[in-house]
């Protein structure tokens, strides 16, 4: 997540028009540890009355991660989902992060869980399930977090996973007039 204080300082400096910072280019890598990601998820779930009660995410090597998902319904036990990042966003043409998921240990039966996740509205705004894929619309996700005004300035964005952390790589650029 972008530090709200930093974004606030930039807004104070530039006013309501980021074009005041024309010519600026910022690139960086932001490591998001498992602890940070899990805290953000827990905060979101605490404010939600949706079907998911808890999620524990663990970043693994080679752009893979696992998630232990617990539902409020005690009828269904917690589910382990493994995801692999397969598609990086191409901004502005296709700002979508593509993740292929599976449920190890249950074979092809895991394919039936996709429609159930969508039906339960388990995914927040900007995320959607299609068969064995989860698509993250980066533009929609930023808008839903009140960061839509950054969209015209995103020159590149990628998310990778390595053991213990997700690495968010980004480039912001304010074009000159």
CA separation for the pair 126, 121 (Å, rounded): 12
Q: Which residues are CB-neighbours of 91 under 8 A, at least 6 positions away?
A: 138, 154, 155, 156, 157
* Mean per-residue pLDDT, 57-72: 94
pLDDT at 103: 84
For residue 11, the model assigns a pLDDT of 58
What's the rounded Cα separation, in Å, for the pair 154 and 46?
30
Of residues 54 and 86, more confidently modeled: 86
Q: State both tokens at 55.
A: 């999620």
Mean pLDDT across 83-96:
96
Q: Give me the pLDDT at residue 118, please.
A: 42
At 26-58, the pLDDT tens digits run 889 999 999 999 998 898 888 888 778 899 999
Residue 52 and residue 78: Cα distance in Å, rounded? 10
Residues paired with residue 162 on neighbouring β-strands, in sequence order: 165
Distance, in Å, from the CA atom of 31 to the CA atom of 33, rounded to the nearest integer, reads: 6
Tokens found for residue 125: 């705004």
State how far the Cα of 123 lies from the Cα of 112, in Å rounded to an integer: 16
The answer to whether the beta carbons of residues 65 and 82 sit under 8 Å apart is yes
Neighbours of 117 (CB within 10 A): 20
Domain boundaries, the chain: 4-172
Q: Is 122 exposed, middle or buried (CB count within 10 Å of its CB: 0-12, 13-18, 19+)?
A: middle
- Report d(CA 95, CA 173) in Å as an integer: 16
pTM over 0.85: no
């Amino acid at each position: 997540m972008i530090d709200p204080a930093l974004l606030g300082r930039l807004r104070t400096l530039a006013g309501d028009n980021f074009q005041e910072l024309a010519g600026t280019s910022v690139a960086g890598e932001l490591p998001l540890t498992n602890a940070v990601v899990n805290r953000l998820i827990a905060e979101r779930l605490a404010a939600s009355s949706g079907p998911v009660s808890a999620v524990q995410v663990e970043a693994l090597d080679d752009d893979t991660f696992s998630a232990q998902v617990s539902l409020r319904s005690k009828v269904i036990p917690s589910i382990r989902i493994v995801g692999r990042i397969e598609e990086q966003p191409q901004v502005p043409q296709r700002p979508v992060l593509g993740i292929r998921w599976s449920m190890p240990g249950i074979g092809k039966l895991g394919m039936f869980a996709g429609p159930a996740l969508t039906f339960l509205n388990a995914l927040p705004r900007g995320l959607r399930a299609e068969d064995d894929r989860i698509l993250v619309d980066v533009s929609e996700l930023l808008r839903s977090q009140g960061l839509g005004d950054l969209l015209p300035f995103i020159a590149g964005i990628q998310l990778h996973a390595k053991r213990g952390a997700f690495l968010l790589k980004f480039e912001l650029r304010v074009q000159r007039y």
